[in-house]
Amino acid sequence: MKVAHFHFDGNLAALRLRRRGEQDLEYAFTGPQSAKHLIESLGIPHTEIGAVQVNGAAVGADAQISDGDEVLVSASSEAADVVVEPRFILDGHLGRLAARMRMLGLDCLYRNDAGDPELASTAVAEGRILVTRDRRLLMRKIITAGYLVRNLVPREQVREVVARYRLRTWIKPFQRCIRCNHLLEPVRKADILDRLEPLTQRYFEEFRMCRGCGQIYWKGSHYEKMMSLIAGLQ
């Protein structure tokens, strides 16, 4: 039996399934084990791991841990490296979060019947950040970019993702379809008049239509909710 001493920063300590919230942990293990394997066995996906130090020296997460090692684990700070507009894919339990992210104009794939293998392969193939509350999904070896959502409330989940990836500069309201994620384009009222309810025809003049599914949008209650969400994020 080997024993290593792990110290986690506060963010990661809160994610642990074992002795949740405690930043220091004596970890007993057998055989050759990597830092990544030991950390994930505590419930922390590798996508949440940032810098790792062993006995004061910076190492990769795949470094082998020996008996008596002192291991310092920091949370990921990948947001600092986001220099191009990030794209996302969300699992089937985060539909309300997906709608809010699309409302902000963020490129966000979502389908409520997508299985874990499809989510993982699509994330890798298209270079998307996988957002989920499923720890095991983020622990798949092929996943390199992902975020484990902490909150259960969709509005707070939006705050989490925006803060993690510093998305305020990428917010482009009323640019994407909430239903299918395609971009919206301006459309003449006269061209869609037969699809509008009488009160909508009477009170609104500016419209956008989804390039993908044909859904029509205007600055009604949906727009007001969007602006309220943006104001809250700021």
Q: Please state the domain count of the chain.
A: 2
Do 128 and 118 have their domain in common? yes
Does residue 56 sit within a domain?
A: yes
For residue 80, is pLDDT > 60?
no
> Which amino acid belongs to residue 142?
I
Q: Is the pLDDT of residue 62 over 90?
A: yes
Strands 33-34 and 49-54: unpaired
pTM over 0.85: yes
Whether 42 and 101 map to the same domain: the answer is no
Residue 211 lies in a domain: no
Average pLDDT for the chain: 93
| Residue 90: inside a domain | yes
Which two structure tokens, joined as six digits, stand for 82? 């986001």
Q: Are residues 99 and 109 in the same domain?
A: yes
Whether 104 is covered by a domain: the verdict is: yes
Query: Is residue 117 scored above 90 in pLDDT?
Result: yes
Assess whether 58 and 130 both reside in one domain. Answer: no
**Residue 150 DSSP class:** -
In three-state form (DSSP H/G/I as H, E/B as E, the rest C), the secondary structure along 70-131 is EEEEEECCHHHHCCCCCCEEECCCCHHHHHHHHHCCCCEEECCCCCHHHHHHHHHHHCCEEE
Same domain, yes or no: 49 and 100: no
From 174, 194, 217, the end of a domain falls on 174
Is there a single domain that holds both residue 50 and residue 91?
A: no
Q: Do 71 and 84 belong together in one domain?
A: no
Which of these three, 129, 152, 174, is where a domain ends?
174
* Cβ neighbours of residue 113 closer than 8 Å, sequence gap 6 or more: 92
Closest CA to 62 of 148, 147, 141, 145: 141
| Of the listed ranges 53-62, 140-149, 164-173, the one predicted with least confidence | 164-173
* 21 and 63 share one domain: yes
Q: What pLDDT is attached to residue 223?
A: 79
Query: Which domain, by its residues, includes 42?
Result: 2-76
pLDDT for the residue 233: 81
Amino acid 56 reads G
Q: What is the pLDDT of residue 222?
A: 74
Domain membership of residue 66 (yes or no) is: yes
- What is the pLDDT, as a whole number, of residue 69? 98
Residue 23 within a domain: yes
Question: Residue 177 has which token pair?
Answer: 């379809």
The CATH number of whichever domain residue 84 belongs to comes to: 3.40.50
Looking at the fold, whether 45 and 85 belong to one and the same domain comes out as no
Residue 223 lies in a domain: no
Quote the pLDDT of residue 78: 67
Are 132 and 94 part of one and the same domain? yes
In a domain, 181, yes or no: no
Question: Over 70: is that where the pLDDT of 142 sits?
Answer: yes
Residue 140 has pLDDT above 70, yes or no: yes
What is the pLDDT, as a whole number, of residue 98? 97
Tell me which range, 77-86, 91-100, 216-225, is most confidently predicted by mean pLDDT: 91-100
In this structure, the answer to whether residues 63 and 103 fall within a common structural domain is no
Amino acid in position 14: A
For the segment 25-58, what is each residue's pLDDT rounded down to a tens digit? 999 999 999 999 999 999 999 999 999 999 999 9
Q: What is the pLDDT of residue 175?
A: 93
Partnered with residue 89 across adjacent β-strands are: 109, 130
Q: Residue 81: is its pLDDT beyond 80?
A: no
CATH number, position 66: 3.10.20.30
151-166 burial, b at 16+ Cβ within 10 Å, e below that, comes to: eeebeebbebbbebbe
**Top-confidence residue, 101 or 221:** 101
State the residue for tokens 């790792």: 52
What is the C-alpha separation between 130 and 139, in angstroms, rounded? 11
Q: Distance (Å, rounded) from C-alpha 144 to C-alpha 80?
A: 16
User: Residue 227 has what pLDDT?
Assistant: 84
Decide which of 189 and 18 is more confident.
Answer: 189
SS3 (DSSP) at 46: helix
Under 8 Å between Cβ of 159 and 101: no
Last residue of a domain, one of 16, 44, 76: 76
According to the model, what pLDDT value does residue 79 have? 65
Note the pLDDT of residue 82.
61
Does 60 share its domain with 101? no
pLDDT computed for residue 213 by the predictor: 96
- The half-sphere exposure of 19 on its side-chain side, counting CA atoms within 13 A, is 12
